[in-house]
């Protein structure tokens, strides 16, 4: 097989992550040549280039940095806006504290350090912007491309010098006042609070009751000092407006990459004290282009109506059409353009399709399914195929692509999630990682059961061999509990639908590589008669999620740190002390509790709304099941007991499963090749028992009334 090195370079170019520049052998940028827009006619690129603040939202590897690089080149070409690229995460990592607070023994050094990092982060970002402009001057860019004379360049340098001096003066005042105000406040608290000691109780623990108030005071003092000494308008905006007039450009675009890699507290300070003032007070001169993940963005007081949001993930990008077939059509079109546009730059003597033993249309459908059109993921998978097949002079087959997808899942998605304690997660995600992994395992087991059950089903909906079980449905409220698993690549939102009970729900697709590992068939039936394939009640996993969060037990301390139940022996070795609190210098005990009480309360609120939807016929079905519980029954028997037709019962059962009131008896259903149903504990506790108790009370009241009449 000739020229496989071209394939190798092609695949590696897709793998390039974050800020890596794509160049040819001469060092010339290839961005404008290989850039492929998610929509036809460069719709996203045109939107990002508009003089508006723009937020690009997408998972890792979706091409956010590539969009920035293309837009920056466009600005240099058009000369209508001046672009500056800022790597937010790198600057944040370099922002180390400059003040020594170690002498303050009564304050959490970790807390002080955190806020000093936030302060230095702001300072370093402003310095970085100055530095980038200075680099343009020293490289001759202004004189060569913008045709500025020496006098104008000197004026720009003068404004940059003013910013440097203002910056130095402002942050010197901030440092001094932070030290004095925080020190004074905490000294007062130390004098007034002498209750740090051991609390005597049946559960002894170190009682440092003023820690929370100290942390609050630190935050308040930072805000107060910033308010008094950090005037962004005087510090930087006024000087930038002068530079604007010198450059004769309409806008300054600040491209903030990896913004969502910093935590919410750092984002809030950055947004409130830097982005919002520049966005609102710069006379429409400064516009931000921000790259972020879904669920990891703080906007504060920025007016959302003045922001352009650009989504890169499959469902969010194409949902504007409200048609899944149209979304899939556009996704395939993008996949073809992405491959062919880039291939034109890398394949000189070969053809991309010559390396595959798969027809073109089928190939692109598979490439979309295994990657969900995430370019970096696609690059890895094609690179794996190069290693497994092409270097051995074998064409890439569908099986090879499946194996590569599984390798990506195991080596990158799964291993990163399990092993990395600093994993990126949505800001509102409060579920410990072990619990999420356990939930994922339950979902997989349910889909394995569905696969077995479908193979034995006589329903026309499941005619044919190897029916897919890669997708599942949960209602909209429960879908939010899966955000972290989605952000980290285990599953993807595929569509928004109405389930059989007409409840707004989300159709999720498990990762292709995950399905491959667990022998689940991936796909969504395209036939018209099977358009409601995944609306079948067996693919509703509401009960799995509900039961998981209601039953999962964890060890939890008073500060909210949670530990998986499996760590019990490790915790016992340290007398059940919280390891996280110990690192912070405090002593608390962990106790067994139900995981994420806040989530459980949310589930209860959702359930309380759904229970009122039960009608009398459905109660009769539940009551019949309760009379034979724990024996499971088929629809035919339930029809006989309720005097309904079995067809009528079979139409009601899916809703009861959705509400978690009925569940499938897996073993019996598989053995008898017919679905059998069980009453759940939830149905007994929340519906059957309360209603029967009320009936009993009413009968007693009637009996007492009749006895009273007889006595009279």
- pLDDT digits 0-9 by tens, 419-444: 766 678 888 887 778 788 989 999 99
Cβ 378 vs Cβ 363: under 8 Å: no
pLDDT over threshold 80, residue 521: yes
Tokens standing for 42?
Answer: 């460069």
pLDDT over threshold 70, residue 583: yes
Q: Which of 72-81, 173-182, 194-203 has the lowest mean pLDDT?
A: 194-203
- Is 114 or 424 the better-scoring residue by pLDDT? 424
pLDDT over threshold 80, residue 299: yes
In this prediction the pTM is 0.78
The mean of the pLDDT values for the chain is 83
CATH number of 614-711: 1.10.10.10
Residue 429 to residue 344: CA distance in whole angstroms: 43
Question: Band of the pLDDT at 661, cuts 50, 70, 90?
Answer: confident
Question: Band of the pLDDT at 603, cuts 50, 70, 90?
Answer: low
Residue 309 to residue 23: CA distance in whole angstroms: 29
Q: List 496's β-bridge partners, or say none.
A: 506
pLDDT over threshold 90, residue 397: yes
Question: For the residues 2-21, what does the mean pLDDT come to?
Answer: 82
Q: Is 609 exposed, middle or buried (0-12, 13-18, 19+ CB in 10 A)?
A: exposed
Residue 446 to residue 471: CA distance in whole angstroms: 11
**Three-state helix/strand/coil letters over 306-347:** HEEEEECCHHHHHHHHCCHHHHHHHHHHHHHHHHHHHHHHHC
Cβ 249 vs Cβ 148: under 8 Å: no
Q: Give residue limits of the domains in the chain.
A: 61-292, 318-419, 433-549, 553-594, 614-711
| Cβ neighbours of 322 (radius 10 Å) | 10
Distances (CA, A) of 434 to 334, 430, 565: 36, 12, 9
What are the residues whose beta carbons fall under 8 Å from the beta carbon of 201, sequence distance 6 or more?
none
- Residue 92: predicted pLDDT: 86
Residue 11 to residue 187: CA distance in whole angstroms: 60
| Crossing angle for the helix pair 635-642 and 616-628, to the nearest 10 degrees | 110
Q: Which helix (H) or strand (E) covers residue 289, if one does?
A: strand 286-292
Residue 649 to residue 642: CA distance in whole angstroms: 9
């Amino acid at each position: 097989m000739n020229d496989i090195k071209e394939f190798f370079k092609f695949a590696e170019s897709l793998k390039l992550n974050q800020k890596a520049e794509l160049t040819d052998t001469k060092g010339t940028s290839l961005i404008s040549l290989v850039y492929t827009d998610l929509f036809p006619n460069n719709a996203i690129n045109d939107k990002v280039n508009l003089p508006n603040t723009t937020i690009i939202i997408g998972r890792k590897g979706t091409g956010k940095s590539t969009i920035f690089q293309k837009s920056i080149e466009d600005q240099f070409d058009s000369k209508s806006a001046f672009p500056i690229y800022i790597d937010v995460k790198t600057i944040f990592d370099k922002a180390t504290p400059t003040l020594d607070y170690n002498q303050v023994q009564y304050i959490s050094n970790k807390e002080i350090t955190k806020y000093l990092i936030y302060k230095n982060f702001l300072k370093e970002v402003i310095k970085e912007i100055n530095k980038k402009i200075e680099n343009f001057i020293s490289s001759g860019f202004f004189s060569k491309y913008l045709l500025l004379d020496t006098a104008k360049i000197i004026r720009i340098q003068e404004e940059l010098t003013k910013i440097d001096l203002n910056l130095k003066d402002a942050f010197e005042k901030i440092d001094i006042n932070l030290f004095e105000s925080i020190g004074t406040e905490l000294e007062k608290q130390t004098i007034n609070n002498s209750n740090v000691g051991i609390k005597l109780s049946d559960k002894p623990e170190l009682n440092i009751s003023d820690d929370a108030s100290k942390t609050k005071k630190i935050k308040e003092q930072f805000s107060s000092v910033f308010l008094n000494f950090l005037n962004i308008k005087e510090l930087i905006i006024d000087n930038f407006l002068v530079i604007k007039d010198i450059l004769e450009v309409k806008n300054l675009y600040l491209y903030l990459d990896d913004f969502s890699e910093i935590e919410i507290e750092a984002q809030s300070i950055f947004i409130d004290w830097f982005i919002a003032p520049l966005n609102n007070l710069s006379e429409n001169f400064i516009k931000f282009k921000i790259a972020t993940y879904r669920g990891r963005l703080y906007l504060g007081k920025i007016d959302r109506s003045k922001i352009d949001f650009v989504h890169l993930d499959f469902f969010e990008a194409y949902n504007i059409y409200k048609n899944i077939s149209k979304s899939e059509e556009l996704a395939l079109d993008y996949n073809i353009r992405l491959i062919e546009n880039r291939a034109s730059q890398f394949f000189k003597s070969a053809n991309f399709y010559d390396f595959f033993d798969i027809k073109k249309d089928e190939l692109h459908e598979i490439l979309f399914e295994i990657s969900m059109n995430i370019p970096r993921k696609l690059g890895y998978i094609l690179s794996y195929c190069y290693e497994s097949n092409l270097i051995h002079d074998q064409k890439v087959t569908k099986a090879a692509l499946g194996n590569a997808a599984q390798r990506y899942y195991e080596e990158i998605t799964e291993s990163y999630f399990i092993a990395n304690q600093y994993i990126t997660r949505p800001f509102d995600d409060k579920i410990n990682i072990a619990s999420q992994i356990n939930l994922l395992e339950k979902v997989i087991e349910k889909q394995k059961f569905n696969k077995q059950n479908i193979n034995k089903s006589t329903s026309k909906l499941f005619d044919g061999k190897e029916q897919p079980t890669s997708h599942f449905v949960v209602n909209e409220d429960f879908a939010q509990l899966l955000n972290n698993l989605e952000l980290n690549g285990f599953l993807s939102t595929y569509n928004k639908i109405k389930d059989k009970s007409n409840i707004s729900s989300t159709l999720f697709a498990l990762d292709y590589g995950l399905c491959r590992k667990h022998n689940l068939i991936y796909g969504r039936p395209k036939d018209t008669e099977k358009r409601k394939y995944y609306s079948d009640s067996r693919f509703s996993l509401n009960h799995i999620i509900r039961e998981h969060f209601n039953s999962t037990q964890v060890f939890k301390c008073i500060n909210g740190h949670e530990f998986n139940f499996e760590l019990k022996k490790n915790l016992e070795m340290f007398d059940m002390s919280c390891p996280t609190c110990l690192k912070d210098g405090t002593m608390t005990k962990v106790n067994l509790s139900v995981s994420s009480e806040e989530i459980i309360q949310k589930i209860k609120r959702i359930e309380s709304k759904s229970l009122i939807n039960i009608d009398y016929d459905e109660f009769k079905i539940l009551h019949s099941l309760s009379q034979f519980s724990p024996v499971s029954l088929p629809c035919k028997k339930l029809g006989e007991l309720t005097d309904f037709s079995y067809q009528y019962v079979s139409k009601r059962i899916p809703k009861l499963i959705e509400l978690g009131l009925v569940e499938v008896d897996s073993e019996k259903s598989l053995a008898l090749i017919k679905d059998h149903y069980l009453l759940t504990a939830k149905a007994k506790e929340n519906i059957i028992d309360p209603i029967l108790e009320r009936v009993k009370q009413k009968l007693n009241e009637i009996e007492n009334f009749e006895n009273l009449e007889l006595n009279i």
